[in-house]
Structure 1
């Protein structure tokens, strides 16, 4: 919000310069984004009066003027269409310096002397509001420096408010804060009710009382359609970022900036029968003031008459009922709309207005009568007219009601670390407009004012005490704490260990959005309908992910589009899977690899990463828990993974995750390379840590026997190792696969696995007969399960 410093100081004028005032506002939680001058620098420009005019003899579009600066008269050649005798206008004398390093010099235009220049708004670095010269009021003092006359040595303070401080979306609100912070008088302009002169009213019916608990309307007849907005109001609107339109609209905008209450004026002659505040009906349309036609939804509050919708309540008026330059009778409305009835509606139609910005955050529900009086008085002052009585439709039970809050000094000290005096607590809250009632020693019952609808709990009041007392005056000290640090179970694998392991293997940790592109989600998990966001930040981030692969593949797309040749990414986070018991949030660990198996090096061949590289990384993860032997890899199909290069990971009967190569069809759909490999693990299954236990070292020697076994090629090596362990007892200390062979020396469709078996007993040396019996048992088990035979 843009605040004009001179306007602010009319309401509250602390003994602070601009820089100190801006810093104070920021420290009070009203962050100042910038401080800028109200006008560009220029000099030598005064209020001039055009004494006479005559046509230029050699130029049809130029006028010869005699201009007075109060002491002398100068000949000036002017090309503006609105120049005329008697006009008061900014006059740049010879030697004046205008914005853009433009110096006024003596000149001849088509043979006629010109000693100076008559200026429009653009020549002074102001917004070009008028086609031609900037016309000054008739009572402007000739010869007065224009910067002093227009108060251009002013400052614009841009304040960035948090959504809860809608009470500060006005000069009045900011001034109230400045008054409280500096203990200076708060001096608002006197606003008295405007008595009706005529009896004319216009019927108002409020159907949607919950959405519009208070609606005020007033007929004003006979305004002057030729009236112009006074320069002082035009300048304030300009500096606040609004363009002047006509006196009635300008007044409503002015009151919005001054008090924070949006108003709207209808052309009374274009209304039919009466005003009705209701929800839109299906299929109704409305052409807005910006000429955009919208189809209204039935959840949109509208102001309507017998012909249909006239305005979107709290957002924007319609073009068919707005004030024009021919309007002589108006119906002025001023309402309180419940924030929930307006919140999000403007954005859903692609709109954002000053009114919607305020109504969706909250407007003071007790402000409407005062704003109506202020707007009526200004309209009559500028454009004349005869006001009728104010009609009000009120549903008092639907208006927000302030709730009393209990506050204790002990709680203040506990949260702020500072013991404020009881008198200071009461004084600060009272100056903030709150009703403070002591209920005992160091305890109060506080009723917030109507404009502080963000006050709901004790902590809100304590925040106000901290703001006004000064955040920079609060002590910096560690809080006194009691209790011990909670210990984690020994059997729980810390997430940090998993991250450290993957980082050590060349991975980078990614943090992606939990909401993803619906198209990406549908491609990865078409069987599950993901949870759709009610209010997504963009169409590409509209549903909750059911797999971490959605974010990792999106990250891969962006990296590959930027010529990344080697990629290692992992992420730990939640996936969100709808189920019969509601939305299930499950912690997952996922990874993605692409490119060469090793970084570029003179001793490397540049081999591409493959399935076994990824499997090695996953096995390293599973080994961290100390129970790799509890897992098995089982060939299976997954919609995301290549049918011939994918595996399900099991821990007992529980599914622990998946790994494999990206499915070629999916890679083509996502415009990704086919040689991307993925894994995803369920942390609830893999995070169970096996607590290390000490076993006595055997004093007796171990014995190793190597077996070369021929078996069908489709037999998984993991199943063979599991069968070997099942066939032996505790004397089998280790079994390892150290060679795989397929070739001419073995039957087609078969393979050879070379296993190393290590045996050891803790109580004695094993004899050859015992070892032979163990080997025979292994061979028998493998023959029975896999038709495996010992190679000669």
Structure 2
């Protein structure tokens, strides 16, 4: 909500300065988004009066004006504004003036005519969002007066961001109530006195939908002056509140809405037929709205109708058929209570949002309708004249919102807040908020005022006490017992280290739902019964996942369908699997998916698709901090993986995960042009790392021995290296396979592995005989364990 600071100070005469006022409102929960002047800085602009207007000799759309600026001289100004006229008081920027956009006014020649200065619109001075011409300052504006001082352009404008539950503060009256309650000041509010009826004229009103509109007040006013204009104070107040002045009757209803919080509407009485019926819309009913749109209402929309059909969307926007105009003489004023449940979402349904719908959706005081009628009537008569009839106030008490009575317990107040003000102070605070308070043995009994829709339970009153007492005044207390931080084992690394390790290797983290499609889940893990949800959000989120792969596969498909050819995704999350006791076991895991080129497109390396061993290399890097030698990749079959390109990941002989290429059946099912490589590992084994220990660095040279052995085709290099480590002496520093050969000279079903052994002593240089002995021991062990022979 936007309003000038001076307007709020008219309601509450607080001594707080602008900064303190902003802070106090924010601490009350009425967050101040900004405090800005009415217009941005400019200089050298005064009130000018046009003495004469002549057509420009060389341009039909330009005029030559003689402008008086209070200096005793007149200035010739070329102006293109359509409303430039004799005796118009408008802003005049003298030569040397600086406008908000930084433009410096200089004497110039426009189409052969000299121009000294500039006549300005409100938009050019930053004091308005739209303008049809020069800013009309009114005949009472003193010529030569500084414009900023005269138009109060240095006044502060507050912009407040209200939470949806505080619809009562969408008015100056509501804000004043809050500020007065916080400061203890009194409210100097305009109290509308009933305007006596001078006519007996009534316009009949029927409430056909009391559950949506339990109260509707209306009043006939005849003989208003159609030539009346909104006074300068009214236009200025609306402009400073972000509302564009239109016409006196409309401006008055807008002012009452800003002032009291009650949206209103003025109908041209001569255009209404029969009577007003507040009812739900009927099939195929159309209405032409004030914004020049025609909409078709439905049976869930509340409308204001006469005998000919809808004349307004209730609480949203009026219709053009019955709108007031410059010819309006007789008016029917409307002030109603439309309940929030009937208004919620209705404005969005018709692709609109108005100040009225914004307020009704959040709740408007049901007791305010007749008060607003009286206030608007008084303003209309003072500005436009006219004679008023009696107020027609239709009320269905059964459907009016009830004012709840809430019990507040002192013990509960102290327990929830951790502190409690004195009992008398609590009662006084609630009374300042408008509640009717009665002390009880346990605390207080409070009756909620009609304008507080957000107060319903005891906790709401406790929040009000804390808010009014001041969040910044809450006492600081220390815990009654020492905080103990649980010891973290040094052998446990953080989950973030796993995440960082994958990110450093070019993988991107994804977060997918734990609920997956039952069909996809069954295809990927057919041997496990997934837990079905009793009330799933949708059919494709019907079971709890037993693997992280379903979500990653769907995410990969989504990206591939959007021309993302290179996809590297991983996720750390929970799997939900049945346990042996018939319950549900939740285990953490890390899973990944890679598809597309292994390297981003570049000139220095040939393009190739990611394969099993690329992903295996990344996993080995992930396993390195926890001891890669404890893990093994064992060829095995998995229902979701390619039969010849999958492996079980084991740690100390126990299965901890899987890696492999997606099964061709699933590749076809997901309509993937390329088969992704997947992995999934239990998270715990990746976090259990060995304790760091010092290992001396040898200053003596290492010695390398290469062995070429022939083994059966099914013997894996991993098992060969494990046997090498078993037989080698403590001086072995590294063992690796650097070549595999099949072909000429090697029997069918056999292969040649070339092994590299690095040996290095800590206290001396190893001799050739010691290295030869170690090589022979390794070869003998390989011969006994794998039937290996030395290749000649």
TM over 0.5: yes
- The match for 1:270 is 271
CA distance in 2, matches of 1:505, 1:74: 77
- Cα 1:682–1:501 change in 2 (3 A) is closer
Q: Is the 8 A contact 1:521 1:546 kept in 2?
A: no
- The match for 1:39 is 39
Following TM superposition, by how much is the alpha carbon of 1:18 offset from its aligned partner in structure 2, in angstroms? 2.1
Q: Deviations over 1:130-149 (max 9, x none)?
A: 43322233333334332222
- The match for 2:470 is 470
- Cα 1:176–1:87 change in 2 (3 A) is same
- Cα 1:647–1:238 change in 2 (3 A) is farther
- The match for 2:775 is none
- Cα 1:214–1:573 change in 2 (3 A) is farther
Following TM superposition, by how much is the alpha carbon of 1:214 offset from its aligned partner in structure 2, in angstroms? 1.0
Following TM superposition, by how much is the alpha carbon of 1:28 offset from its aligned partner in structure 2, in angstroms? 2.2
Aligned length: 685
User: 1:357 aligned to 2:371?
Assistant: no
Which stretch shifts more, 428-437 or 274-283? 274-283
Following TM superposition, by how much is the alpha carbon of 1:282 offset from its aligned partner in structure 2, in angstroms? 2.8
Q: Is the 8 A contact 1:120 1:128 kept in 2?
A: no
Which stretch shifts more, 397-406 or 496-505? 496-505
Following TM superposition, by how much is the alpha carbon of 1:405 offset from its aligned partner in structure 2, in angstroms? 1.6
CA distance in 2, matches of 1:512, 1:592: 13
- The match for 1:224 is 225
CA distance in 2, matches of 1:543, 1:374: 56
Q: List gaps (5 residues or longer) in structure 1.
A: 487-494, 535-540, 576-584, 650-655, 688-707, 712-741, 752-792
- The match for 2:652 is none
CA distance in 2, matches of 1:116, 1:530: 76
Following TM superposition, by how much is the alpha carbon of 1:155 offset from its aligned partner in structure 2, in angstroms? 1.6
Q: Is the 8 A contact 1:568 1:594 kept in 2?
A: no
Following TM superposition, by how much is the alpha carbon of 1:480 offset from its aligned partner in structure 2, in angstroms? 5.0
> What is the CA RMSD across the aligned residues, in angstroms?
5.8
Q: Deviations over 1:83-129 (max 9, x none)?
A: 33333333344544433334445567677776544433234332265
Q: Is the 8 A contact 1:180 1:432 kept in 2?
A: yes
- Cα 1:314–1:471 change in 2 (3 A) is same
Q: Is the 8 A contact 2:63 2:78 kept in 1?
A: yes
Which stretch shifts more, 391-400 or 190-199? 190-199
1:398 alignment partner, SS class: coil
- The match for 2:207 is 206
- Cα 1:529–1:411 change in 2 (3 A) is closer
CA distance in 1, matches of 2:636, 2:617: 12
- Cα 1:590–1:105 change in 2 (3 A) is closer
What pairs with 1:341-740 in structure 2 (closer than 5 Å)? 341-440=342-441, 443-478=443-478, 510=509, 512=511, 514=513, 549-550=550-551, 553-554=554-555, 557=558, 565=566, 567-572=568-573, 591-594=592-595, 674-677=674-677
Scaled by the length of structure 1, the TM-score of the pair is 0.70
- The match for 1:335 is 336
Q: Is the 8 A contact 1:216 1:369 kept in 2?
A: yes
Following TM superposition, by how much is the alpha carbon of 1:407 offset from its aligned partner in structure 2, in angstroms? 1.7
- Cα 1:100–1:710 change in 2 (3 A) is closer
- The match for 1:249 is 250
CA distance in 1, matches of 2:356, 2:537: 27
CA distance in 2, matches of 1:664, 1:320: 67
CA distance in 1, matches of 2:53, 2:294: 47
Q: Is the 8 A contact 2:637 2:643 kept in 1?
A: no
CA distance in 2, matches of 1:319, 1:515: 53
1:217 alignment partner, SS class: strand
- The match for 2:123 is 122
Q: Deviations over 1:432-460 (max 9, x none)?
A: 1111211137x111222221211122222
CA distance in 1, matches of 2:111, 2:502: 82
CA distance in 2, matches of 1:453, 1:388: 32
Q: Deviations over 1:196-251 (max 9, x none)?
A: 22222222211111111111122222333333222222222222222222222222
CA distance in 2, matches of 1:544, 1:10: 60
- Cα 1:131–1:233 change in 2 (3 A) is same
CA distance in 1, matches of 2:123, 2:223: 34
CA distance in 2, matches of 1:672, 1:586: 29
2:33 alignment partner, SS class: strand
Scaled by the length of structure 2, the TM-score of the pair is 0.70
Q: Is the 8 A contact 1:167 1:260 kept in 2?
A: yes
Following TM superposition, by how much is the alpha carbon of 1:668 offset from its aligned partner in structure 2, in angstroms? 9.1
- The match for 1:295 is 296
- Cα 1:616–1:175 change in 2 (3 A) is same
Following TM superposition, by how much is the alpha carbon of 1:521 offset from its aligned partner in structure 2, in angstroms? 10
CA distance in 2, matches of 1:496, 1:347: 51
Which stretch shifts more, 392-401 or 544-553? 544-553
- The match for 2:20 is 20
What pairs with 1:131-280 in structure 2 (closer than 5 Å)? 131-280=132-281
Following TM superposition, by how much is the alpha carbon of 1:563 offset from its aligned partner in structure 2, in angstroms? 6.4
Q: Is the 8 A contact 1:58 1:110 kept in 2?
A: yes
Following TM superposition, by how much is the alpha carbon of 1:41 offset from its aligned partner in structure 2, in angstroms? 1.9
1:124 alignment partner, SS class: coil
- The match for 1:324 is 325
Q: Is the 8 A contact 2:64 2:77 kept in 1?
A: yes
- Cα 1:503–1:139 change in 2 (3 A) is closer
Q: Deviations over 1:399-434 (max 9, x none)?
A: 111212222333222222223122221222221111
Q: Deviations over 1:710-736 (max 9, x none)?
A: 99xxxxxxxxxxxxxxxxxxxxxxxxx
Q: List gaps (5 residues or longer) in structure 2.
A: 487-491, 525-531, 577-585, 650-655, 686-710, 715-741, 751-792
Following TM superposition, by how much is the alpha carbon of 1:375 offset from its aligned partner in structure 2, in angstroms? 2.0
1:567 alignment partner, SS class: strand
Following TM superposition, by how much is the alpha carbon of 1:680 offset from its aligned partner in structure 2, in angstroms? 8.7
- Cα 1:552–1:425 change in 2 (3 A) is farther
- Cα 1:112–1:635 change in 2 (3 A) is closer
CA distance in 1, matches of 2:304, 2:134: 40
Q: Is the 8 A contact 2:316 2:357 kept in 1?
A: yes
1:249 alignment partner, SS class: helix
Following TM superposition, by how much is the alpha carbon of 1:189 offset from its aligned partner in structure 2, in angstroms? 1.8
- Cα 1:82–1:614 change in 2 (3 A) is closer
Q: Is the 8 A contact 1:509 1:571 kept in 2?
A: no
Following TM superposition, by how much is the alpha carbon of 1:561 offset from its aligned partner in structure 2, in angstroms? 6.4
- Cα 1:681–1:12 change in 2 (3 A) is farther
CA distance in 2, matches of 1:69, 1:18: 33
- The match for 1:86 is 87
Following TM superposition, by how much is the alpha carbon of 1:21 offset from its aligned partner in structure 2, in angstroms? 2.0
1:366 alignment partner, SS class: coil
- Cα 1:305–1:235 change in 2 (3 A) is same
2:424 alignment partner, SS class: helix
CA distance in 2, matches of 1:74, 1:613: 85
